[in-house]
A and B are shown apart, each in its own frame.
Chain A
Amino acid sequence: MPHELILLKNMSQPGYTGSLADYERAGGYQAIRKVLGKMPPGDVTDLVKRSGLRGRGGAGFPTGVKWSFIPKDHPGPRYLCCNADESEPGTFKDRQLMERDPHQMIEGMIIASYAIGVRIAYIYIRGEFVMGAKILERALAEAYKAGYLGENILGTGFAVDIYVHRGAGAYICGEETALLESLEGKRGLPRTKPPFPATNGLFNKPTVVNNVETLANLPYIVNRGVEWFMAIGNPPKSTGTRVFCLSGHIKRPGNYEVPMGITFREMIYDIAGGMRGDKPLKAFIPGGASASFFTSQHLDVKMDFESVAQAGSMLGSGGVTVMEEGTCMVWAAENLLHFFNHESCGKCTPCREGSSWLLQILRRIEHGKGKMEDLGTLARLCPNIAGRTVCAFGDAEIAPILSTLQYFRDEYETHVREQRCPFRRAPAPDLIAVGHG
């Protein structure tokens, strides 16, 4: 059954360029007319709260609730940061949302700024997105010219400036407090919480960090109302659509916007065309590299926050990666641990040292030098990392290991028993461990 597109609707129209004129023709910048000077800011926060909108950046925190943590009586400046760092392996939706329909997100930022009382907002975009940064700069210039940004917007007296701030290659800067450190011109090391950004954020001022996709939803919630939004998805906990990013051994990879609550089976087989070469599915990651692996037995799990969590993983960033029969799970875990080891910021010992140990053990097993006791070491090491670190990266890095050990323990054992990877005929032509920088 086809369903309505929201965030990808404009860009799916033939000839839509994402220019201001195109966005306005599609009904853009009407939502700020309904909000600025017309609704008290607190009502806007309330509207977002009632819509049930939850963050699309990974943690799924209710957006309106997050905004309401900003102290009402705080005199000084407050800040909004759009998290456009998109670096979670398997995730590539924010890039599309920014490059093909930048004004949608900018309008969302204006609405959020008004609700929170923000005068200066930043878009923290990952350094590699050079094209995205240029497109945003151009879109911001258009919005300034049209009077949607800067002083006295639409004659309402409300003012906000938005600046693009480029990162420079560090996954951890997607973590919201690392993002703030990085924006302040420092090394991107996550901060210990509390205090939370809502009270002590950017430049030590009250700050909200929201993901690109979260912000892009705002104009539609304003325009079409809470009831409409609440009816999409799997309410009350998972309202609205998600843009899921399909990758791996799939026939039609790419970004697909669907209401939350359809099953992974529908997504993988009906929408994305099924498995490449029609091989059986062996495993899939349901929500980016930080999410625990699922297997074919999880295909009927619903794609919403609660259902995926109940089944033992997380919807995370929306990156769904499918792997066909014949894919080595030890190899997959090793690849991901290479990522985590490379990207650990090094602030906490369990994460910094642990990720390196985990990688070395996995590499040993994959390359035919593993010992049976390595499996016990992995299982013992992981829980000593999770929950003992400054940021959630520590929980993320063990997810691929614990879940593959849980569902594919026999595969680990075969590697050790046969002293080789049973899936490779020739020695693995490695994607080697030489990082850059």
Chain B
Amino acid sequence: MLIEPYKDRIAEILGRYPEKRAALLPLLWLAQETQGYVSEEAMREIAGLLDLTPPQVFETVTFYSMYNLRPIGRFHIQVCRSLMCALVGAENLLSWIDAKLGLKTGGTTPDRMFSLHQVECLASCGTGPMMQINDEYYERLTQAKVNRILDDLRRDGKSDLASGPFMFPEPSNKSSESSCRTN
């Protein structure tokens, strides 16, 4: 079920590497993209493609935290808990999410819309508190922003509060030759 419709993409991925096994992470990504998680069936198929045993695939998958071995909520909220975000209120962010969704770390809402996990640094420490939801980053969060994002997602499946290509601070639009010394 994985291989057939994606023959071309799989061939393209395999073509990038001199050794088959190197295609393992990209193929696992492909599996997760198409099914929402990495199923046992997908692992077997990938093992076959790469001349690996299913346990070889499994032991590799479990090393990496981003592969889901089970289906999860439609929106996977990951709140950064590392020091720089904790200094600027990562705890508040958790309580705002809880207030809005009644959702605690490790949980999924009864309608299976939202799952919540705490994760380590996501490389937006200057724009905390922050969270990643599925593929998108949401930064410099306030309670009002969090409420809007969660409403947007529930209603439209996306939110325009997601971060764009990242730059912070945004350029001042004045001079490019000086860094941001304003005082």
Contact = CB atoms under 8 A, between A and B. Distances in A.
Contacts of A170: 63-65
Interface of B, helix, strand, loop or mixed by DSSP: loop
Interface in B3-62: 16, 18-19, 21-26, 28-29, 50, 59-60, 62
Contacts of B110: none
A436 B180 CA distance: 38
Interface string A159-188: 000010111111100000000001111111
B66 A335 contact: no
A431 B91 contact: yes
Nearest to B61: A168
A434 B66 contact: no
A185 B64 contact: no
Interface string A96-137: 100110000000000000000000100000111111000100
Contacts of A436: 65, 78, 117-119
A253 B121 CA distance: 16
A336 B166 CA distance: 25
Interface residues of A, number: 83
A437 B66 contact: yes
Nearest to B79: A431
Contacts of A92: 123-127, 166, 168
A245 B125 contact: yes
Interface string B106-121: 1000000000011111
A275 to B, nearest CB: 12
Contacts of A437: 62, 64-67
Band of interface residues on B: 35 or more
Given A13-B171, A166-B26, A184-B22, A5 B91 contact: no
B181 interface: yes
B161 interface: no
B126 A253 contact: yes
A12 interface: yes
B104 to A, nearest CB: 9
Contact of B179 (A3, A131, A429): A3
A4 B177 contact: yes
B16 A163 contact: yes
A187 B37 CA distance: 19
A339 B121 contact: yes
Given A254-B168, A257-B179, A187 B63 contact: yes
Nearest to A14: B173
A336 B171 CA distance: 31
Interface in B66-109: 66-67, 78, 81-84, 86-88, 90-91, 94-95, 105-106
B87 A327 contact: yes
Contacts of A2: 175, 177-179, 181
B179 A256 contact: yes
B176 A289 contact: no
Contact of A168 (B28, B59, B126): B28
Contacts of A91: 121, 123, 125
Contacts of B60: 185-187
A32 to B, nearest CB: 22
A116 to B, nearest CB: 17
Interface string A321-349: 10100010000100110110011010000
Contacts of B178: 2-3, 5
Contacts of A13: 171, 176
A395 to B, nearest CB: 18
Contacts of A135: 165
A100 B166 contact: yes
Contacts of B64: 127, 167-170, 188, 437
A104 B3 CA distance: 36
Nearest to A92: B123
A434 B95 CA distance: 16
Contact of B171 (A11, A127, A429): A11
Contact of B87 (A120, A167, A249): A249
Contacts of A5: 176-179
Contact of B132 (A128, A254, A289, A336): A128
B97 to A, nearest CB: 13
Given A247-B125, A434-B117, A168 B177 contact: no
Interface in A291-344: 319, 321, 323, 327, 332, 335-336, 338-339, 342-343
A88 interface: yes
Contacts of A12: 171, 176
From B62, B163, B165, name the one whose CB has the most chain A CB atoms within 10 angstroms.
Answer: B165
Interface of B: 16, 18-19, 21-26, 28-29, 50, 59-60, 62-67, 78, 81-84, 86-88, 90-91, 94-95, 105-106, 117-128, 132, 135-137, 163, 165-169, 171, 173, 175-183
Given A87-B120, A168-B25, 18 more contacts: A8-B179, A90-B121, A96-B167, A120-B16, A120-B18, A129-B123, A130-B135, A165-B16, A165-B26, A168-B29, A168-B64, A168-B65, A186-B24, A186-B60, A203-B19, A246-B126, A253-B168, A254-B126
19 contacts: A3-B178, A18-B165, A87-B121, A87-B123, A89-B121, A100-B165, A129-B123, A166-B29, A167-B25, A168-B66, A170-B64, A254-B126, A254-B168, A255-B167, A323-B87, A335-B86, A429-B95, A432-B105, A437-B65
